[in-house]
Structures are given as C-alpha cells and as structure tokens.
Structure 1
Amino acid sequence: MTRFAQLVMGPAGSGKSTYCSNMVKHCEVLGRTVHVVNLDPAAEQFDYPVLADVRELIHIDDAMEDEALQFGPNGGLIFCMEYLVQNLDWLREQLDDVEDDYIIFDCPGQIELYTHIPAMKQLVEALQNWNFRVCGVFLIDSQFMIEASKFTSGVLTALSTMVNMEITHVNILTKLDLLSKKAKKDLDRYLDPDMETLLQEEFMDEKFSHRFKKLNQAVAKLVDDYSLVKFLPLDITDEESINDILLQIDLAIQYGDELEPREPRDPEDLDPAEENVDSGYDQGE
C-alpha cells in the first residue's frame, strides 16, 4: 500500500511547527485525516496532536547532560538524529499502528542536517523502503528574503537541501501575513526570480562588495538557466494560500491518483468554511 509523507524542513524560526498545525487544521476542513510526527528532540511546545514524538525515544537534554558526551545544543541535536536513524524500528512501530496514509514530519531546525549530514537522507531512504512517497517541504522566512543578497543565500540553502535529499521538493516563503504592504508588493520578484537582475540591482546600489560580483553572477546564472529554485507564498491567514500549497504537494507525490472521485455534495450540506477548499478526493471514510 502506497503511503504519503511531507518532510517539513527549514532553518530555526522559519515556521515549521506553525505550518504543520495549520496544515492539519486545513485538512480537517477538507475532511482529510493527516497525522503529524515530531522529529525535533529539542521541541518545547506545539499546538497540534502528535502521532509520535521523538522525545519519547531521545531528548536533547539526554545528550547535553550526559557526562560522557558533554555535547552543546548543536552537537546534541545531531547526536539525537543519528540515534533516531540507528533506532528506526521505533519509528516504524509508531507508523505501523496508523491506518491513515498521510503523515507530516515536523523536523529540527538545524540546517546542517539537510545540507551535508547524512541522517535525514537516511531517514528518507527508510521511509521510501516503507512505501512512502516523500515530498520535501522547505520553509524560509519571507521577512529575511526581500533583499537580493539575503534571497541568494536562501536560494542556495534550499538548493543544497534539494541536492542532498534527492526527493520531490517544494520551497515555501512563510510569514507573508507579517510583511509590510511595501514588502508584499516587492515579493512577486522573488517567487519566480530573475536572479541576475536582482543581484545587478543590488550591485548598482553598492550594497554588495564588487569582489564577489563575478561569483554571484555565476551562481545566479546557474539558478536561472536551469530553473532550479522557485518558491510558493504562504499566508496562514488565507485558506486559499494553504490550499494552493497542499495541492502542489499532492501533485508532487501523486496523492489522490488512486482514489475514487467522490460524489458532489449538496451545497446546502456544506459548512461555509468548506465551500472554497473542497479537495475532490475520496478518503474512503
């Protein structure tokens, strides 16, 4: 049986847990059952129900307080994720108890885990062996992405994650609801960017050292020529924004291809919140 998963990644503070919470609530409106697994051993709180919590297996305090290990926060987090990979039977037991086939994994915010440390890649390979179709969902805070130099840094981080994870991938700019009106007007330039143009404008304003001009132009040309990185906007106050992202992810992992179209419901039976977000999938419930 094919199962489906979102692997929610991104830097600390990019809104991963908020994304998971709102995606669960949105799916409830659609009549879809979605479960969340917390994979962050340093998580302090979240407002969604969890199917499984890695802190029941290992907590970051276990690594930091162990006198033999004496890890700091970063080393402790890496140790915890490597420990999880060494004990994947625990995770499989948690997932095997669930009949529903759509799982969202809320991952830690340490970017090294996605760019050059193999633990998350090994987790993905295990999920694929368990018949999951996995979509990487990489979140970046839009408030730090409205200048060309910062945007370039974010693009390279997303690209590094895409290359390392080797899975279907969706990049998202989060926290649009917190942007100023002026920033929102400029945002379209960054959703489907012309990198060379963005950097050239910044060079003209002399915000960027000309020593790095050729290097950045080469990187920008690479991203532009191969259309490697694009972003979807997320405004958690806008149900249509959340639904657009869910549809993109569903298409990426071919969710719904094997489901029967459900019978149209009488408009009088619809909850007002459902009228504009009905997904058209039969969940067999």
Structure 2
Amino acid sequence: MEASSSESPRIGPNVAQKPSVLVLGMAGSGKTTFVQRLTSYLHTRQTPPYVINLDPAVAKVPYPVNVDIRDTVKYKEVMKEFGMGPNGAIMTCLNLMCTRFDQVIQLINKRANSDTSICLLDTPGQIEAFTWSASGSIITDSLASSHPTVVMYIVDSARATNPTTFMSNMLYACSILYRTKLPFIVVFNKADIVKPTFALKWMKDFERFDEALEENRSSYMNDLSRSLSLVLDEFYCGLKTVCVSSMTGEGFDDVMKAIDESVEAYKNEYVPMYEKVLAEKLKLDEEEKKEKHEKVLHGKELAAPSNLLNLSEKVDKIHIGGVEEENQEDSDIMRA
C-alpha cells in the first residue's frame, strides 16, 4: 500500500487498458439488441464484456449489466420533481450521472486485470440527448482520456434503403466523428432483413448513389443529397464499416476485428494528438502562472516607493520633532 501511494498519478490515456466501446445510433436502429448480441457472442468465447447502461428511460435491459444508470438516478422521479419531458429528463439524468462518472472510470479500470474483454456502453435511444449535450461530451472525453475508446454508430439498414435517409445517417455519423475525434465504426444492422451491400456500393461509387437518387421524385432533395455525397467522399475513404444482424449473430467476427483495428488507430492517432493538446495546455497554464506572478511582483514594485516615501516622511518628522524639542530645552536652560 505504501509503495502504491508513493507513485505519482498517471496523466493521460493508459493504452494497456482494455478498450471501451461506445454504442450510438438513431432511435430504432437496434443499439440495445446489438449490445445484447455482442454480449452473448463474447460470453460464448469465455471473454465476457463489462457492460454499462446509460439509458435511464429503458424499462428492461435484455443483457447482464455491471453498471446501470437506473440504480443511481430515477428517470420518472426526475420528470416529476423538475417538471420535465422525456428528453429533458434523460439529459438531466445524464448530467447527474456525470457528477459520479469518475467512480465509473475507476470501476472500468479495476476490471483491467479480470477476464473481461471490452467495456460496452449502451447509450439512450434519443441520440441527440447524448451526442450534443455537455454530459455526453464529458462522458466521452473521460473515457477517451483514460483508456482506449472506440465509437460504434449503428445504422438501420432497412430504413437506409432510401438514399435521403442514408445520407441523413451519414451526415450524423460524420458530425459525431469530427466531434469526438475517436476511432469510428459504422455498423449496418439488420442484415437479416436487408443486405446492406447497397450502402457499401453507394459509399464507394458515386454513380450508384446517383442512380438511386434518380428514383426519388423530390428534385431538391436529389440535388442536396448528390452534393452532400460528393462532400462526404473523403469521409467515406477512411471509414470502417461492418455489416451485422443482431438477430442471427451474422458479422460479429468482423465487429471484433474492427474493434481491434480501431484500438491500434487509437494508439497511433488519438494518443499523440491528446498528448500534443495536453502539452499545449500545460504550456499555456505555465505561461498564465508566470504572467500572474510577474503582475504580482510588478504590483509590489509599484507599491514599494510610496511605502518607502511614507516611511521616510515619518522618520523625518520624528527626527525633526526630536531636534525641535532638544532646541526648545536648550533655550529654556539658557533663559534660566
């Protein structure tokens, strides 16, 4: 215990830790079913995940949970107490969870030496309540700054057959990628209903996507989606994609392979960027401290002459007063 207490606290990500996977996606995309299937898949391999539920509004979780936000914050009580609607209550629950998320990080770090493989975090169905809230940013940054973190964005393949819906999903994925700056995987779910090969072709070949747009009657949406597809061309190039079925278990070998590759990308790309930002922040903090120190010293120097002047005036008055008193005594003696 003494040896461990004498060690200085670690600053920055610990790449030796096992990865955390943050599961995001639009409502109805199958996030919870995906987490359930991935949990089952890892259990069959004798490498169970450490699962965290961050959805306070879910009625029942269909997988074993290690940390559940519902044990800390009561969603319905938040709605009653603060007079909020569903989305406002979800954001408030996440904000309250953030006040104790350092304890969650400690629990995640403790399981590093256990038999668990990864840490899975299931997020609320209302994706905007997590991705665009301060609490979502705090949770994501806290995870990424302590150990390897990967973002998985779940897409409903059945609904993405419409090119405009597909483009909406890709725009949202792009915004999350550039907001988090973390390794990013797009998971086309529900492959048992519709094979998402069409989406992969759209991402690789603009002409295929343009042909699909021609079947859409809205000319304005066609032009907009066509322009956005050209804008996202570079985004598609470095994007990892996986096709899965959460019902049948198809494609989960590819999911684990993509996670392993993303962890390497985290080590090679995110960690150097984080260390650079941290070094710049420490440099700015040092400069700010130095500037404040110089201001304090400069203020003392400005204050010193006036203090000395007042002190010298007091000494002179005392000295002059003493001489005057002595002269008065001499004159009295002479008169006597």
> TM bucket by the smaller chain?
0.7 to 0.9
Aligned equivalents of 1:235, 1:16: Cα separation in 2: 11
CA contact (8 A) 1:193 1:230 kept: no
The amino acid of 2:127's aligned partner reads: I
Aligned equivalents of 2:62, 2:130: Cα separation in 1: 25
1:276 maps to which residue? none
Which of structures 1 and 2 has the bigger CA Rg?
A: 2
Determine whether 1:127 maps to 2:131. Answer: no
Of residues 56, 80, 89, the one that matches 1:76 is: 89
CA contact (8 A) 1:11 1:139 kept: yes
Aligned equivalents of 1:134, 1:203: Cα separation in 2: 36
Unaligned residue ranges in structure 1 (runs of 5+): 258-285
Aligned equivalents of 2:105, 2:235: Cα separation in 1: 37
Deviation at 1:166, TM superposition (A): 1.7
Deviation at 1:58, TM superposition (A): 0.9
The amino acid of 1:108's aligned partner reads: P
Aligned equivalents of 2:182, 2:251: Cα separation in 1: 23
Deviation at 1:193, TM superposition (A): 2.1
The amino acid of 1:125's aligned partner reads: D
Determine whether 1:37 maps to 2:52. Answer: yes
TM-score by length of structure 2 reads 0.66
Of residues 193, 214, 224, the one that matches 2:202 is: 193
Of residues 157, 177, 202, the one that matches 2:172 is: 157
Deviation at 1:240, TM superposition (A): 5.2
Deviations 1:150-189 (A, max 9, x none): 1111111211221222211111111222x1xxx43xx312
1:273 maps to which residue? none
> Could you say what secondary structure the match of 1:145 adopts?
helix
Determine whether 1:222 maps to 2:231. Answer: yes
Q: Structure 1 residues 7, 226: closer, same or farther in 2, change over 3 A?
A: closer
TM-score by length of structure 1 reads 0.77
CA contact (8 A) 2:87 2:129 kept: no
Determine whether 1:236 maps to 2:249. Answer: no
Q: Structure 1 residues 250, 207: closer, same or farther in 2, change over 3 A?
A: same
Aligned equivalents of 1:95, 1:115: Cα separation in 2: 21
Deviations 1:122-161 (A, max 9, x none): 112111333x200001111111111211111111121122
Coordinate RMSD, CA, aligned: 2.4
Unaligned residue ranges in structure 2 (runs of 5+): 1-15, 268-336
The amino acid of 1:136's aligned partner reads: V
The amino acid of 1:31's aligned partner reads: Q
> Could you say what secondary structure the match of 2:26 adopts?
coil
Deviation at 1:72, TM superposition (A): 0.2
1:2 maps to which residue? 17
Aligned equivalents of 1:207, 1:114: Cα separation in 2: 34
1:253 maps to which residue? 263
The structure with the largest helix share of the pair is: 2
Aligned equivalents of 1:176, 1:202: Cα separation in 2: 19
The amino acid of 1:250's aligned partner reads: D
The amino acid of 2:230's aligned partner reads: K
